Amino acid sequence: MLVMQLRYMFSVLLFLQGVTSENVLIWFAEGSHWINLKSVIEELIERGHNVTVAVHSSSPYVNYSEPHPFTFEVFEVPFAREEFRDILDDFVEFSIYEKPHNLLDVVGLRLREIVAAGTEFNRQTCDGVIKNRKLLQKLKAAKFKVLLSDPISPCGDLLAMKLGIPFIFTLRFSLGSSMERYCGQLPAPPSYVPVVMSGFSDKMTFTERLKNILYMHLCSVVNDWIWHGWDVYYSEVLGKPTTFCETMGKAEIWLIRTYWDFEFPRPLLPNFVFVGGLHCRPAKPLSQELEEFVQSSGEHGIVIFSLGSLVKNLTAEKANMIAEALGEIPQKVVWSYAGEQPKTLASNTMLYKWLPQNDLLGHPKTRVFITHGGTNGIYEAIYHGVPMIGIPLFADQPDNMAHMKAKGAAVVLSFVTLNKHDLVNAINTVINDTSYKENVLKLSQIQRDQPMSPLERAVFWIEFVMRHGGAQHLRPEAHSLSWYQYHCLDVIAFLFICLVIILFVLKKCCMFCCRKCRGTRVKKNKTE
């Protein structure tokens, strides 16, 4: 009760601080990234702010045609929605079935082709707003106080620079954390901070530390290749020499969508704020049909199975194998699957094209969550205290599940080598071994035991930037240092030169003294 009262008081104080209605501009993002942005948008509107979302006309996930409590500013792009969706589908299909097994595979020719195509779409999207003078004038006239952007969709920072307003990033990760490290100057000692997508924990062996350093530099090389074209583009738009990373580094606040229940302890900067789980909500009642199915599970409970919104289909062989495995467990199964119904589907399994995932995870009969390892799903499982079985597919998912495995809250399986025996064993292990439930409940307690909710914290910092016109006092001076100054290489070189000079002088002095002593002895011997 005391905790609830404190949270209420914080909410009242935050509301009073942010009571002035301001104009907020959102740079769109796709897929699960849009889910996080929508949570922030809804809270901003609840606090009385006017929100405008800039989105291109071919967005496959942002439905701007339906009524919303916020304004959409739609701009045209020279490609169709189907073309953009094909690029996303190519990336997903490549990642699942051609399967880059580790970071060394990201330089493969096929992936480079996909990345190059995606970059071209992103550049055309930027052109759609940056080179649209009428739209820029309209946005300037709106006098926005801040822009919120997910850097997974480039150009938000560039738009903010053109409009002359401060901007904030919200992100889960970048390849090898390169954006955070090089653009945000976030310290990341490779001795105990695992590179994103390495799959390592903070307790690394010598070999893992060696690989971690190599991965870090490999990611830097890959990002340099990706960013090079953006450096030229950003310089042209801003009319002065600049770089993609330099512009990103001007972000006032970085809202990182994880928290200490997920992350391993590591150094942070004052303008980096953890807001993991900002989309999590208490569970709502299920539909009558779904509730009846869940209740029919009896004491065994239910298993929730979802591979995310991007995976619409599986091969018939893989789908039949999974359905057969699920039919061998005593629990009822709710499976989010839009593909053709598997021939081996058992009576204990129900297929749904869409699931109220958060509400199911919050149901008392839920025993385990089989997931692809997306951050949103993991945080919903943590919030509701549900242990997991991870079948990661691509991007940050293997790394996410490596974190949950290290914290004792999940069993991880390989999608490529997945078979019926492994899946059944994993389900039985997670359900029957109480340590998994105990560990995820500990993470849930950590997630909930905060002075303000992650969503309140995210909105607080957005309003803070609006109230103060930025947060420059939180940005480290590292942004104005060159790479050799940042690593003190100039100081080390100076001290080394000083040391060499001192040693040289000492050597000369010693040689002089030796010659004097030798000359004195020779003169004395001659005299004798």
The phi and psi torsions of 275 (rounded to 5 degrees) equal -135, 30
Return all residues near 219 (Cβ < 8 A) that are at least 6 apart: 103, 175, 176, 177, 178, 195, 197
Q: At what angle do helices 2-17 and 454-468 cross, to 10 degrees?
A: 20
Q: What pLDDT does 525 receive?
A: 59
Is there a common fold for 2-278+453-480 and 288-448? yes
Task: Evaluate if residue 498 carries a pLDDT over 70.
Answer: yes
82 pLDDT tier (thresholds 50, 70, 90) = confident
Confidence of residue 515 (pLDDT cuts 50, 70, 90): confident
Of the listed ranges 284-298, 338-352, 488-502, 513-527, the one predicted with least confidence: 513-527
H or E element, residue 311? none
Which of 147-161, 173-187, 426-440 has the highest mean predicted lDDT (pLDDT)? 426-440
- The set of residues, in sequence order, having a beta carbon less than 8 Å from that of 65 and lying 6+ positions away, is none
**pLDDT at residue 96 in the model:** 63
Dihedral over Cα of 316, 318, 319, 325: its sign: positive
Distance CA 483, CA 487 (A): 6
For 2-278+453-480, CATH number?
Answer: 3.40.50.2000
Looking at residue 198, what is its pLDDT? 84
pLDDT at 32: 81
Name the band, by pLDDT with cuts 50, 70 and 90, for residue 520.
Answer: low
Q: How far apart (Å, rounded) are the C-alpha atoms in residues 504 and 506?
A: 5
**Domain ranges (residues) in the chain:** 2-278+453-480, 288-448
The larger pLDDT score, comparing residue 394 to residue 243, is at 243
Q: Which CATH superfamily does the domain covering 288-448 fall into? A: Glycogen Phosphorylase B; (3.40.50.2000)
